Amino acid sequence: MTPDRVAPHSAEIPFRVPWQERVAGVPPMTPSPSILVVEDETELAELFAEWLSEEYDVRVATTGEDALERVDEEVDVVLLDRLMPGISGDEVLETIRDRGLSVRVAMVTAVEPDFDVLKMGFDDYVVKPVFREDVRRLVEGLLERDQYDQHLSDLFASASKLAALESHKSAGELETSEEYLRLKAEFERTRERIEELESGMSERDFDAVFYDLSEVDI
């Protein structure tokens, strides 16, 4: 039986779980989200990969150098350890942001946060030890947050354009513009999609998307 938690120890064998290999070699119609696990304790990296591999395409890197080779635009979420020999997790995070990759990064580390985290560009910070459900919930929340954020960004962009036009054009001019009508319809669809996402969220889903809000004094 696979344990829900393991104490990490050193090992040397790299590990990779190709998502397609779990489906008799046939790739899916819709690609599974790609998760990069960056953890120098190989047994722990393998365990994280096993916990996630039923739902995601999991890549594993056991050094910072390896992580920077494996991360690309196809990766959706990175689970990143901070303390690693060679290139540290902090340096990996900084390089990912410098490359402009649209990837969610969660620090999963034994290092308790200090004030230096205020200048770091991660999306979440989790202190080990972590359990199977913690890891799954973390990844699920980051993916959901990314979808939610994209819809919100689209909504605000459309609203800004509509407001600019509506403040300078007459109703007659607006009604005869195909581009305006198309944008307005797109705005309504996006707003409805956001409402659907919010209404479909259980308390658990909301907690997953907004993982740390309950801990913040606001």
For residue range 27-70, list pLDDT tens digits in order: 445 689 999 999 999 999 999 999 999 999 999 999 999 999 99
Neighbours of 52 (CB within 10 A): 24
Q: Per the confidence metrics, is the pTM higher than 0.75?
A: no
pLDDT digits (tens, 9 = 90+) for 139-153: 998 888 777 777 776
pLDDT of residue 201: 61
DSSP code string of 114-180: -GGGGG---SEEEESP--HHHHHHHHHHHHHHHHHHHHHHHHHHHHHHHHHHHTTS-HHHHHT-HHH
